[in-house]
Chain A
């Protein structure tokens, strides 16, 4: 059984991080260059962490499967980044951001982690502005803000609808500076396919060069995974097609616990599915809910009418009706489930009946089209490219889609997993968002972990490692891990199958969406737990992977990733089945209040479920870490 110690420092909540920083061990500046750290992934968390570690003097090896670090999927985040700056003088504070985030996560996150996140949020904005990130400005030259869901203050900083892009390019510029001066060794087109554990510590990785096919061993004093979330387990999602869970899944199979995999976020405002060929769903930023109003017709029979032909009195602005205090800006899980309920009632719009309107006509009347264009022009353009409709003239049609995963590898307060020396940052870990993430908090967490948390906490681990003690790559552990990787490759390529990889990914996605999507039931999850292992067997027997191992082979890349997704999907359903309550993004139909809201069970489930691998074909072990709320009262989450 894994040892799960949260290592949360003692003392008052607001002092914990400051105190911890003064107490953790330091590495002497002259010794830092003797340590090598591997950083896998180059999104916000990976790039910011690699750059900062290099600035501190560590030797850094950065690995990214993309052809350039600038392409990591953080680039696609649209709306913004939260920070408790209180530049708007609307009463914001570190405590309010902390409280909103903790409540937004439905009291399933670690209190001390969330408070630290809120504390460092202000430093992130300073750091990014100094790097030249072109944040939106007011006419006086100071920073502008907008509002996001789950908050009653305006604390979101943004760069048009491309905030993730600009923040990532900032972190990428910091990374590039250190690659340029030789302190970071950058490996692009390099996919991590196994973790190497030596004497119980993470000391290296096995990597495949996606262009040449070469498989290489890399040793280090510590390994940092910043490889993003696993939402593509649903196949259709707002993730990039390449986003995958392979790094965290292979680490799981080497003993790292995977926490709360069932906490998945379904984003309410995405462009609906149009056909079977579809490869991805496109997000329409939550920022649109600042000015867009969500509605469906009051009567079922109106659902196929043109929206302009439905009179004002016949429209149901259901979020404003059900949640008057937060209205259209209620949190994502709440808005998504409400949309589902409207569609279940038969009032969904569009050919499929799976859609609701997001209407800007009020905003256009109030502010004028140019002002709306300035705020959201690029989003309206994206909508037009995909649907061939103009949202200036007719409401957008939107529907919820998989967008983010709050679950991930278990980490302690220092962001270290239960395998010493293995650190996990950003979406890849489980730590800060509980059962639901608020909008504009993912960018905040990725950069908090990378710029301001890990660079301190990794020293605490490295200080106990003798400089120069990292193992040589000819050790048996490296050899065995490499053989594991090449064995899998051989197996895929020699399979005499008939079906392309995508066939299985689509089928997995359908099972997951049907049984483990916005609403989950015992029966459905049990059915999924029958179907997924059967799908895995079929995959192993009939998948077809053409080509060879020693060149660029995208089918081979996908085969490994989808194989991992199928296994992870099973664990996700198992976690969802075991958690007999509803909280945040995890909604079990058996556990709801009469009005359809989430019914938590704090007596039994106020804990983190951290799953531990027990070997091929064996049921994984469910470890728990109790969540103690010392400073906050756990209450029923209400946005009414």
Chain B
């Protein structure tokens, strides 16, 4: 089932961040890779290198990956200084070796941010994103309580814009690319997706306040409008959503001053 290849093979060096555990010191280690097929994905090259390391009796490089088609958001390497590497609008798993050339040294690091502690080698802990979702990234609807789907018309333009935001895969590249390690693009994508839909209106204020508060508590920085986040986003989510979230946040904060204390900003996702 394997096609013979007429492609020209080449050699590269992988310079990979190795770190045995969260508290252990890390360092770069070089791994030469020969006979690289340009049609190979970058992660497939890591597989091959890992098998070589294993046969030698050493521990292979731990890296996060799963679907390998750019949708699960698990893979998370910073390659040559850029989260998800040199491509535009792709995740690490969608990077193919045809993006590199004979003799290249490819520097591979984990996503670096205070809120994403390194667990091992290239694997980081991104549970903070789940915490933010748990604080308010939902519409409270009990199973079985929904009205007929067509009883809530949604203008196509709004649905399309909501979908643009909703394509976020939760990978965290936006955080890794930001000099402040801000999660504003991630949070703005969720806030905008739900805030653009009529179904999301009842909890709109509460949602943005709770999610932003949880984001701040998790140790993410603030946005200073550099837009590195949208430049590396594998789904090309626009930083315009951050402006939208800021408007929602200010409006919600203002309104919350005129409401009984029990309805105000407190987090918690009841």
Q: Please, which residues of chain B bring their CB within 8 A of the CB of A240?
A: 66-68, 72
Pick from A76, A141, A211, A282: contact of B154, CB under 8 Å: A141
**Chain A residues numbered 258-296 whose CB sits less than 8 Å from any CB in chain B:** 272-280, 282-283
Q: Which one of B77-85, B143-151, B175-183 is at the A interface?
A: B143-151
Question: Which residues of B, 1-41, contact A by the 8 Å Cβ criterion?
Answer: 1-6, 20-21, 37, 39-41
With the chains together, A72 CA to B87 CA distance in Å?
25
Query: Could you tell me the distance between the alpha carbons of A604 and B39 in the complex, rounded to whole angstroms?
Result: 48
Q: Are A273 and B59 in contact (CB under 8 A)?
A: no
A382 & B68 in contact (Cβ 8 Å cutoff)? no
| Residues from chain A with Cβ under 8 Å of B148 in the complex | 126
B102 in the interface (beta carbon within 8 A)? no
Given contacts A135-B159, A142-B153, contact A165 B37 (CB under 8 A): no
A241, A452, A513 interface centre (most CB from chain B within 10 Å): A241
B134 and A165 contact, CB distance less than 8 A: no
Q: Which residue, of A69, A71, A181, has the highest number of chain B Cβ atoms within 10 A?
A: A71
Contact yes or no, A165 B2, CB < 8 A = no
Interface residue count on the A side (C-beta < 8 Å): 94
Given A70-B73, A141-B155, CB of A134 within 8 Å of CB of B163:
yes
B3 x A173 contact (CB < 8 A): no
B200 touches A241 (CB 8 A): no
Separation of A180 and B198 alpha carbons in the complex (Å): 23
Does A560 sit at the interface, judged by CB under 8 A?
no
Determine if B73 and A71 form an interchain contact, defined as CB atoms under 8 angstroms apart.
yes
A551 to B132, CA, bound (A): 27
Is there a chain B Cβ closer than 8 Å to A600's Cβ? Answer: no
Contact A143 B150 (CB under 8 A): yes
Task: Point out the residue from A242, A351, A451, A553 that lies within 8 Å of B143, measured CB to CB.
Answer: A451
Determine if A322 is an interface residue (Cβ-Cβ < 8 Å).
no
Q: Encode A99-141 as 1/0 by CB contact (under 8 A) with B.
A: 0000000000000000000000001011111111011111111
How many Å from the CB of B69 to the closest CB on chain A? 5
**Bound form: Cα–Cα A76–B20 in Å:** 31
User: Would A131 and B67 count as touching, CB distance under 8 A?
Assistant: no
Interface SS of B by simple majority: loop
Complex Cα spacing A451 to B144, Å: 8
Assess A71 versus B89: contact at CB under 8 Å? Given A126-B148, A350-B3, A502-B47: no
Q: Which 8 A-B pairs have the closest CB atoms?
A: A180-B269, A141-B153, A180-B134, A352-B3, A130-B146, A173-B138, A129-B149, A126-B146
20 A-B contacts (beta carbon < 8 Å): A51-B143, A66-B74, A68-B129, A73-B72, A87-B150, A130-B139, A130-B149, A136-B159, A143-B150, A176-B137, A181-B268, A211-B120, A236-B1, A277-B45, A280-B69, A385-B70, A499-B55, A500-B50, A546-B54, A546-B57
Interface residues of B (CB under 8 A from A): 1-6, 20-21, 37, 39-41, 43-45, 47-48, 50-51, 54-55, 57-60, 62, 64-74, 87, 89-90, 94, 96, 98, 119-120, 123, 125-127, 129-130, 133-150, 152-156, 159-160, 162-163, 166-167, 169-170, 193-194, 197, 199-200, 268-270
A-side interface residues toward B, CB under 8 Å?
48, 51-52, 55, 66-73, 75-76, 85, 87, 123, 125-132, 134-143, 159-160, 162, 165-166, 169, 172-174, 176-177, 179-181, 186, 188, 211, 236, 240-242, 272-280, 282-283, 350-352, 354, 381-382, 385-386, 388, 451-452, 455, 498-500, 502-503, 510, 513, 544, 546-547, 551-555
